[in-house]
Amino acid sequence: VEEVIQRYRGEPAALITLLIEVSRITGGLSEPALNEIGSRLGLSGTDLKATALAHRLWYSTEPPPLGLCVNTPCAARGGAEVERILREKGVAFESLRCPGSCDLGPIACFRHGSPQAISAARARSLAKAELADWEDLLSVEKPVHAFRTNTRVAFANIFAKGSHQLATARRHGVWTSAAQALERGPEAVVTAVAESGLSDEDGEGGVGRLWSSVRERGEAGYLVANGARGEPGTFQDRLLLERDPHLVLAGLVVAASATGVHEAFVCVRAEHELAAERIRGAVDEATRAGLLGERVLGRPFALKVRVRLISKAYLAGETTGLLETLEGRPPTPRPSSQARTLLGRPVLVHDLETLALVTAIANSGPGWYRSQGVNGGAGVKLVSLSGDLKRPGGYEVPQGSMLRDLLELLGGGPAQGKSLTAIQIGGALGPLVPASMLDTPLNREELEKLGVTANSGALVAITEKSCLYDIARREVAFFARESCGTCEACRLASQYLEAVEQWGAGIGAQAHIEEIVARLRASTACSLGRRAPAAVESLMRHFPTAAAEHAAGACACSPRRKPRPS
């Protein structure tokens, strides 16, 4: 612990990383430990406790040792059944935010350790076993990554042996490409990126436009690579960090030199231990080789890259919640009117996918990049296929690909002869889209017509195995669990959940739900609140009988069949 405190004392944006690392060593943070850390760092123990609580690093009452992911991608893939078994057998568990391993789901974690696949059979064994054997039981099922790619830009190298190592990255020309991009000069790079139409998940007018305005204002500060997005069903970031961390770093170098930034943070979710280990290893290797540091690639340009661990609170991966996290506070989203700064300086925050694409765009040009798309789409997109599919995984696909092709050709279609009833697009807060509407191309304009306002790249397949009412209820529960509760919108969350549960119990509450949704929309301050109504609204629109069927006992999770999960 002493060593961890010494390592991070005085380091920028390191408080949450320090707390996570101490918590790992001590098997969880206690109140005396937080008071001690506070006094060592000159911070108030009360503030530190509030921060640790908001980041789920400290609990006022100890949670059960077993954590279960209760989000849609896992639930649709058998997690709902696992959950029912554990409840029936009286095994207590903590409901987890998606640990980002949805391709391996359903997922459980033992004492906040790494995500492990769990099955109905394994859940039954756990219920019979002693607590001391749980860890072994959970880690028996070794995860199998099942990702494939179609086009090859950001995922070009991920199949190579040792793809995370510098020697392999060099063999694939990753760092030579970064050097070529630097050779072209910042203006040419910014122009290429602007003309390519590349845009982050939340859009905001495109990456190139942001870079030009930073250059015009001459206000370089920090660059943050956000590998901490917590949208259930979104795991491409994990794959990039585990499989090709040098590509992300090369993209950081290109972005930093184009915008004149000299300090960057790569943020990685603490649960993704392999991803964290590999990006840290890549930063060390690249720094030792002179690719980062005082003279990047031997040029008079300095870039210091630091890796930061981010907690499992959903809002900690939301752009402004992430900035608050890096500043060592609870991950409360900032009002949109507030300037985007980090530690008092301007900051650019980018998805890892964006960073993994910029080097190729800078070198091969916007025309080439746009031509990678099909059906009017421009460029490529990383998608995470999850839910009840034969081949869930991360895929790189042309923008404009038909949704049906992605699910059926790449994802292999529904597992075990089931048929698709709906897909959820864009993560937990995306709408439920009927399978009949899958002949739609994957691009922003077309997805907006389906009610998708932010596309994290998550596509969750739901078959008749799942109760659609239960899926929508899970989204509302997710919203209630993850909101920070500082504005009116989320103070409505528990009312919203209660009304949705009454609806599923056959007590007509539809008008009440609509009234809450209208109030929620009018008062939300961040994307979590803004997107919270989508699942229930889409259920009402496209599956109007789902709640009544659930109430009448048509599904295994119906209150008529069993006590309702709390």
Stretch that binds ligand SF4, among 68-76, 84-92, 462-470, 482-490 (CB under 6 A): 482-490
For 541, list phi and psi in degrees, rounded to 5.
Answer: -75, -50
Supply the minimum distance, in Å, between the C-beta of residue 18 and ligand SF4. Answer: 25
Stretch that binds ligand FES, among 23-31, 35-43, 68-76, 201-209 (CB under 6 A): 68-76
Supply the minimum distance, in Å, between the C-beta of residue 516 and ligand SF4. Answer: 14
Residue 99 interacting entry, from ligand FES, ligand SF4, none, C-beta within 5 to 8 Å by type: ligand FES
Q: Which of 64, 485, 544, 553 binds ligand SF4 (CB under 6 A)?
A: 485
Supply the minimum distance, in Å, between the C-beta of residue 119 and ligand FES. Answer: 14
Residue 101 interacting entry, from ligand SF4, ligand FES, none, C-beta within 5 to 8 Å by type: ligand FES
DSSP calls for 273-322: HHHHHHHHHHHHHHHHTTSSBSSGGGSS--BEEEEEEE-S-GGGGSHHHH
Supply the minimum distance, in Å, between the C-beta of residue 69 and ligand FES. Answer: 3
528 binds ligand SF4 (CB under 6 A): yes
Each residue 332-371 as x (binds ligand SF4 by CB under 6 A) or -, in order, gives -x--------------------------------------
Q: Which of 20, 48, 102, 248 binds ligand FES (CB under 6 A)?
A: 102
- Could you tell me the two tokens for 252? 């950081």
325 binds ligand SF4 (CB under 6 A): no
Spatial CB neighbours of 129, under 8 Å, sequence gap ≥ 6: 137
Q: Which of 18, 82, 107, 118 binds ligand FES (CB under 6 A)?
A: 107
Segment (H or E) for 420: strand 420-425
Supply the minimum distance, in Å, between the C-beta of residue 19 and ligand SF4. Answer: 21
Integer Cα distance of 84 and 333 in angstroms: 34
Integer Cα distance of 515 and 517 in angstroms: 5
Spatial CB neighbours of 167, under 8 Å, sequence gap ≥ 6: none
Supply the minimum distance, in Å, between the C-beta of residue 330 and ligand SF4. Answer: 10
226 binds ligand FES (CB under 6 A): no
Count Cβ atoms below 10 Å from residue 288 Cβ, excluding itself: 11
For residues 110 and 65, the answer to whether their CB atoms sit within 8 Å is yes
Stretch that binds ligand SF4, among 141-149, 442-450, 525-533, 538-546 (CB under 6 A): 525-533
Integer Cα distance of 73 and 425 in angstroms: 11
Strands 420-425 and 432-434: antiparallel
Q: In what order do the strands lie in the sheet with 116-117?
A: 94-96, 66-69, 107-110, 116-117
76 binds ligand FES (CB under 6 A): no
Beta pairing partners, 310: 269
Q: Quote the DSSP letter at residue 221.
A: -
Q: Which of 73, 78, 227, 394 binds ligand FES (CB under 6 A)?
A: 73
Supply the minimum distance, in Å, between the C-beta of residue 32 and ligand FES. Answer: 33
CA distances from 464 to 68, 418, 431 (A): 22, 7, 17
Supply the minimum distance, in Å, between the C-beta of residue 74 and ligand SF4. Answer: 22
Nearer to ligand SF4, 160 or 487 (CB): 487
Integer Cα distance of 233 and 398 in angstroms: 19
CA geometry: angle 292, 205, 394, nearest 5 deg: 60
Q: Which of 489, 499, 546, 557 binds ligand SF4 (CB under 6 A)?
A: 489
For 338, list phi and psi in degrees, rounded to 5.
Answer: -75, 140
For residues 165 and 285, the answer to whether their CB atoms sit within 8 Å is yes
394 binds ligand FES (CB under 6 A): no
Q: Which residue has the tokens 């510098």?
A: 166
Stretch that binds ligand FES, among 69-77, 287-295, 369-377, 482-490 (CB under 6 A): 69-77
CA-based nearest residue to 545, from 514, 512, 506, 498: 506
414 SS3 class = strand
Residue 73 interacting entry, from ligand SF4, ligand FES, none, C-beta within 5 to 8 Å by type: ligand FES
74 binds ligand FES (CB under 6 A): yes
Each residue 439-478 as x (binds ligand SF4 by CB under 6 A) or -, in order, gives ----------------------------------------
Residue 528 interacting entry, from ligand SF4, ligand FES, none, C-beta within 5 to 8 Å by type: ligand SF4
Stretch that binds ligand SF4, among 120-128, 147-155, 464-472, 520-528 (CB under 6 A): 520-528
Interface residues toward ligand SF4, by CB under 6 A: 333, 483-487, 489-490, 524-526, 528-529
Interface residues toward ligand FES, by CB under 6 A: 69, 71, 73-74, 98-102, 105, 107, 232-233
